[in-house]
Amino acid sequence: MIATAEEINTHKPLAVRFFGRDFALYRGRATGRVVLLDAYCPHMKTHLAAENDTSYVIIDGGGTNIEGDSIRCPYHAWRFGPDGQCDDIPYHDGPIPKTACIKAWPVAESMGAIWIWHDPENGDPEWDHPSLPQWDDKAWVHWRFDDLGILEQHPQEVIDNICDYSHLAPIHGSTVQRYENEFDGHEAIQRQCGPHRTLVGEDGASPVLHTVTKYHGPGVLISHLTGYYESYLMITHTPVEDGSIRVWHALLVKSPGGNEVATVEDEVAARQFQDASKFAFMQDFQVWTNKAPCFNGLFLPSDGPFMKARIWYKQFFNPRARKEEFQSKVNGVYVPKGTVAYTQD
């Protein structure tokens, strides 16, 4: 995830930086399609999406340099289509050089978020961007993203959380009754159930909460929660630089009142539940903010399958040709020592 859809529901492009790289992100004015290009014009390296209110390209464009689904450089007015190819140089009569182009990235819009497929080897997307059928069901209250900003931590530290059984009671106050992890291709899965001290009702009591959590690739977590309000938690973290990530949190909630169409009262209850979910996540976030990198932890058999998770994570580094090698080492179900498996009858 690199932005919310709301951030580009405007006539201006958005400058974003991820993976140690600057991008120009915008919504085409002709079709509404989302476009993501490398940020710098190949002519003289001008940033296409940086704030600019003095160039006559911007002024004459009504406050923007987006034209149709293309974008025009504010410095010399070269125009680039959504494929990154330059299609107009106003002062040039000859053919446009084929090298007058910018890299265009695979990008998609889903569930209020903008997604990029980032592969330095330029491989095609290997799985679909996140989507849930409940998003189109009127009984469900749409999330509003909590932008948690930049976390100065390597994403591996966040991924570790998917298999960290032993932190659930000290940090979250969870009384885990059953638990297991599974690694399956590009997905890392956690299943658990038990009462929870943070996600509680107005009376302070917690039902037995069931959560089935999946990492879809290295940066998108979606968790199905039942037992209180049925909901889907989404947490995304995307590398900004080596050792820093930008983090978002969101919660899609089924009508707490059991209505076929969510009401205002449902929205209020859903927002309160999202706030509680955010607090539970911040219990982890605060620790990550202040910890040193854990390159070689002192892991115990009852902690959870940390080393399996770290091998699973290696598949997302280049060369991608090694992904099956790492998957074959970890695919399967794992239960921490002394724990009851979630799927046990």
- Residue 313: predicted pLDDT: 96
How far from the centroid of its chain's Cα atoms is residue 238's Cα? 6
Domain membership of residue 128 (yes or no) is no
Q: Per residue in 12-62, pLDDT tens?
A: 999 999 999 999 999 999 999 999 999 999 999 999 999 999 999 999 999
Question: In what side-by-side order are the strands of the sheet with 86-88?
Answer: 66-67, 70-72, 79-80, 86-88
Domain extent, residue 51, equals 3-116
Domain membership of residue 129 (yes or no) is no
Q: Where residue 88 sits, what CATH number does that domain have? A: 2.102.10.10
Q: What is the pTM of this model?
A: 0.93
Domain membership of residue 62 (yes or no) is yes
Query: Are 80 and 173 members of one domain?
Result: no
Query: Are 27 and 111 members of one domain?
Result: yes
Query: Are 94 and 205 members of one domain?
Result: no
Query: Are 281 and 152 members of one domain?
Result: yes
Q: Dihedral sign for Cα 299, 241, 109, 316, please.
A: negative
Q: Where residue 241 sits, what CATH number does that domain have? A: 3.90.380.10
- Residue 30: predicted pLDDT: 97
- Residue 204: predicted pLDDT: 64
Query: Are 145 and 108 members of one domain?
Result: no
Domain membership of residue 126 (yes or no) is no
Q: How many beta carbons lie within 10 A of that of residue 263, not counting itself?
A: 13
Query: Are 326 and 186 members of one domain?
Result: yes
- Burial call 207-217: b when 16+ CB within 10 Å, e when fewer: eebbbebbbbb
The label of the residue with tokens 């900003």 reads 149
Question: Final residue of a domain: which of 86, 116, 146?
Answer: 116
- Residue 318: predicted pLDDT: 87
Domain membership of residue 123 (yes or no) is no
- Residue 173: predicted pLDDT: 85
Query: Are 172 and 293 members of one domain?
Result: yes
Domain membership of residue 340 (yes or no) is no
- Please state the domain count of the chain: 2
DSSP letter (8 states) at residue 89: -
279-to-165, 198, 250, 270 alpha-carbon distances in Å: 19, 8, 12, 14
Domain membership of residue 37 (yes or no) is yes
Question: Final residue of a domain: which of 116, 149, 179?
Answer: 116
Query: Are 163 and 272 members of one domain?
Result: yes
Query: Are 20 and 147 members of one domain?
Result: no
Q: Locate the DSSP E strands across 74-139.
A: 79-80, 86-88, 107-110, 113-116
Mean pLDDT by 10 residues, the chain (345 residues): 97 98 98 98 98 97 98 99 98 96 97 96 92 97 98 94 91 90 98 81 75 96 94 98 97 97 97 94 94 88 92 94 96 94 77
Query: Are 171 and 110 members of one domain?
Result: no
Domain membership of residue 282 (yes or no) is yes
Query: Are 185 and 242 members of one domain?
Result: yes
CB-based burial label for 295 (10 Å; 0-12, 13-18, 19+): exposed
- Residue 201: predicted pLDDT: 63
Question: Rounded CA gap, 51 and 39, in Å?
Answer: 12
- Residue 199: predicted pLDDT: 67
Query: Are 296 and 170 members of one domain?
Result: yes
